[in-house]
Structure 1
Amino acid sequence: MNAFRAGLACALSLCAGQLAAQECAPSKWGAEDQLGSANLVTPENTLAAASLIRQGKSMPLGIVIDSETPAFAPRSLSLQVVQPNQQGGQKLDAFGYPGNYNDDVLQTWVGIGSQIDGLGHLGEKGLYYNCNDEKEIAAITGLTKLGVHAIPPLVGRAVIVDMAVHAGKEHLDAGESFGPEEIQAAAEAQGVEFREGDIILFHTGWTDAMLENDPQAWVSGEPGIDNAGSDWVAGLNPMAVGADTWGVEPVPAKEGDGTFYGHVILLQQNGIYILETMNTGPLLEEGVNEFFFVLGQARIRGTVQMIINPVALY
C-alpha cells in the first residue's frame, strides 16, 4: 500500500509539472533565453540614448543605505570596518609596505535599498521566466540560471512619469494605485513618449516624503502600479520598469489584484527587469524626465537581486 501511495504521489507530481509546463509559453527571444528584455540593449539603441546627454551632467539613482535602512523583512545589513593584523600598534609588512590600512566586512541581504530584481526573483506555480522550473534552478548556493551576474550592462533611454504631480499631490499615499489610463494621461501631460527598450520609472514622491521622516511607515506600505498597469506597460516592450518605492506595486494591493503580482507579470511572464527605490526626485527637480541610463551591477554569481546605483546622464 505504501508503495502504491508513493507511486501515486509521484505520478500526481509529474502530472502537475507537465500541466504547469503546458501553461508556460517560451520567451519571444527563444526557449533557451535567460536575458529577457536585456536583449533590447543594442548598439543602435545605445547610440540613440547617448544623444540625450546634452548638459554633460550625471546624477545617482541609488540611495545611500546603512544598517538603519528599513527593508522588506527579514532583510538586514551589517557593516564592520576592521584593521586586520594591526592590533597593538602592529604595522602591515606585506609586500614591503610597513603601513596601516582599513578593510570592511559586509554581511547583508542584497535586496536592500536601490536594487534590481532579476528574472529568477518571482514566479508562479513553481516556474520562472522562460518556463524555468524552481527545482532545477534554485540551489542554496545560488541560481543555476537567471542569475543577476549574467545580465549585461543595462544602458538605454530612461523616462520618468511623475504620478504624484499628475494626482496633484506631493506624494501618493500607501495603497494608492495607478493603471493604464492614469499612466497614459500623465505621460501625455508631461510630454513623455514611450519607446521600445526604454527604462520606465514612476515617481510617486513616497521615498522623498517618507523614508527619513517615517521609515517604519515607508516600509510598511507604498503606492504603486496596479496589475492592469503592469500588463499595459509590459506591452510597450521596455527594458526595465521601476519606481521610487521599495516594491513598485501598491501595498496594500488594489482590491482584486494579487499582492506583488505585477512582479510576476513583468519578471516571469515578460522577462522585464524591475528597479526598486530609484531616486527620481532630484532629477525631476532639475527638470529632467528623459535621460541616458547606465547600470553595471555587481556580478556575484547566482544572485536573485542586487543592490545598485544606476547613473542618469543628461
Structure 2
Amino acid sequence: MKASLFAGFACAISLATSTWAADCTPSKWGEGDELGSANLVSPENTLKAAALIKQGKSQPLGIVIDSNTPAFPPRSLSLQVVQPNQQGGQKLDAFGYPGNYNDDLLQTWVGIGSQIDGLGHLGEGGFYYNCADEKEISAITGLTKLGVHNIPPLVGRAVILDMAKHAGKDYLTAGEHFGEEEIKAAAEAQGVSIGKGDIVLFHTGWTENTLESDPTAWVSGEPGINVSGSRYLASLDVMAVGADTWGIEPVPPAPGDGAFYGHVILLKDHGIYILETMNTGPVLADGVNEFMFVLGQARIRGTVQMIINPVALY
C-alpha cells in the first residue's frame, strides 16, 4: 500500500511539474530573479551609451498627459490643485512661514500616456515572468513580486527604427504590422544595428498624426510589431522594446497573432520591458536614431506599470 501511495504521489508531482513547465519558462538569470533584462545594465554599457552624446542635447520621450488623454479603458486621470488650510484668505503659519502655497491631488491609473510595463503586467496560464504564480504575487494592495519599484535605472544605448519612413508613409495606419523581415530591412536601410542590452523604439507616426486630431481613433486601434517581430527582438537579448503607440502591437492584431501576445513573449517569456507612447518624432527630426537612454521611474511599491518620461541624450 505504501509503495502504491508513493507511486501515485510521484505521478501527481510529475504531472504537476510537466504542467508547470509547460506554462512558464524559468529565468536565465536564476531562480528568484525579478529584474529580467534590467540585469543587462552595466557600467560598461552605460559608458558606451554615454559616448553617443555628441551634440549635448536632450529630448523628453514622454508625452504631456491630462484628464483628456485617451487611454485603454477604463483607465483615466483626474488632477485637483488645492490650497489646504488657506480658505477665506488665511495664510499658512506652519514652521514660521506665513505664506501661501498650492498642492495637488492626483487620482489616476498609472498605465496611461507614456509608460513602462513591468514584468508582472501580462502573463499566461496563471504565470508571469520567471514562473511567478498569480495566486502568490497578485495582491490587491500591490504585487508581492515583480513590482516596477524593483527596476533599477534603465540606462543604455537606444535606437529608433522609422517604420513609417520604411513604408514610404507619413504614418502607418491601425492594423498595419511589421515583423522580423521588415525590422531587418529597415535597420539595414537606416544604418541601425541592434545589440544585446539595447532599447529598441519604433516610430510609426501614429501618435503624431492621430492623437490630437482624432483621439478616439488613436486609442481604438494602432499599427505595431507582430509576434514574429517580438520573437526576433527577444532573440537579440534587447533590454526594452517600445513604440510611439499606446500598446506597441497592431490593433486589430496581425492575422494568426493573438491580441497583445507580443506582451507575453517579451514580458513573461523573456523579461524584456515594454515602453509605450514614446515621443520618437522630435529625436528623428534632429537627424538622430541612436542615443543614450536614461529612465528612472517613480518607485511606488508593488506597481504593475508606471507613467514615465525617459530622456534621450545625444
Q: Give the TM-score of the pair, scaled to structure 2.
A: 0.95
Name the counterpart of 1:9: none
Name the counterpart of 1:229: 229
Please say if 1:34 is aligned against 2:34.
yes
Name the counterpart of 2:174: 174
Secondary structure of the residue that 1:106 maps to in structure 2?
strand
Distance 1:20 1:56 in 2: 53
In the TM superposition, residue 292 of structure 1 has moved relative to its aligned partner by 0.2
Distance 1:146 1:15 in 2: 28
In the TM superposition, residue 50 of structure 1 has moved relative to its aligned partner by 0.4
Name the counterpart of 1:8: none
In the TM superposition, residue 32 of structure 1 has moved relative to its aligned partner by 1.3
> Where in structure 2 are the equivalents of 1:14-33 lying within 5 Å?
18-23=17-22, 24-33=24-33
1:97–1:56 Cα change, 3 Å: same
> Where in structure 2 are the equivalents of 1:261-280 lying within 5 Å?
261-280=261-280
> Where in structure 2 are the equivalents of 1:126-145 lying within 5 Å?
126-145=126-145
Secondary structure of the residue that 1:209 maps to in structure 2?
helix
Please say if 1:76 is aligned against 2:76.
yes
Q: Does the CA contact (< 8 Å) of 1:239 and 1:273 recur in 2?
A: yes
In the TM superposition, residue 25 of structure 1 has moved relative to its aligned partner by 2.3
Name the counterpart of 2:188: 188
Counterpart AA for 1:37? S
> Where in structure 2 are the equivalents of 1:143-182 lying within 5 Å?
143-182=143-182
Distance 1:150 1:21 in 2: 25
Counterpart AA for 1:305? Q
Counterpart AA for 1:235? S
Name the counterpart of 2:301: 301
Name the counterpart of 2:99: 99
1:91-126 superposed Cα distances (whole Å, 9 cap, x missing partner): 000000000000000000000000000000000000
Secondary structure of the residue that 2:274 maps to in structure 1?
strand
1:256-280 superposed Cα distances (whole Å, 9 cap, x missing partner): 0000000000000000000000000
Name the counterpart of 1:283: 283
Distance 2:146 2:271 in 1: 10
In the TM superposition, residue 19 of structure 1 has moved relative to its aligned partner by 4.4
Distance 2:172 2:134 in 1: 36
Distance 2:77 2:18 in 1: 40
Q: Does the CA contact (< 8 Å) of 1:62 and 1:277 recur in 2?
A: yes
In the TM superposition, residue 22 of structure 1 has moved relative to its aligned partner by 1.9
Distance 1:248 1:20 in 2: 30
Q: Does the CA contact (< 8 Å) of 1:20 and 1:125 recur in 2?
A: no
Secondary structure of the residue that 1:161 maps to in structure 2?
strand
Q: Does the CA contact (< 8 Å) of 1:129 and 1:267 recur in 2?
A: yes
1:294–1:52 Cα change, 3 Å: same
Where structure 1 has 5 or more consecutive residues not aligned to the other structure, the ranges are 1-12
How many pairs align? 302
1:70–1:20 Cα change, 3 Å: farther
Distance 1:68 1:84 in 2: 26
Distance 1:79 1:18 in 2: 48
In the TM superposition, residue 26 of structure 1 has moved relative to its aligned partner by 1.0
Aligned Cα RMSD in Å?
Answer: 1.3
Distance 1:62 1:252 in 2: 25
Name the counterpart of 1:6: none
Distance 2:15 2:135 in 1: 13
1:22-42 superposed Cα distances (whole Å, 9 cap, x missing partner): 222211111111000000000
Q: Give the TM-score of the pair, scaled to structure 1.
A: 0.95
In the TM superposition, residue 18 of structure 1 has moved relative to its aligned partner by 4.4
Distance 1:298 1:20 in 2: 37
In the TM superposition, residue 139 of structure 1 has moved relative to its aligned partner by 0.2
Distance 1:192 1:158 in 2: 10
Distance 1:79 1:19 in 2: 49
Name the counterpart of 1:5: none
Name the counterpart of 1:10: none
Where structure 2 has 5 or more consecutive residues not aligned to the other structure, the ranges are 1-11
1:16–1:92 Cα change, 3 Å: farther
Distance 1:15 1:69 in 2: 50
Distance 2:57 2:16 in 1: 51
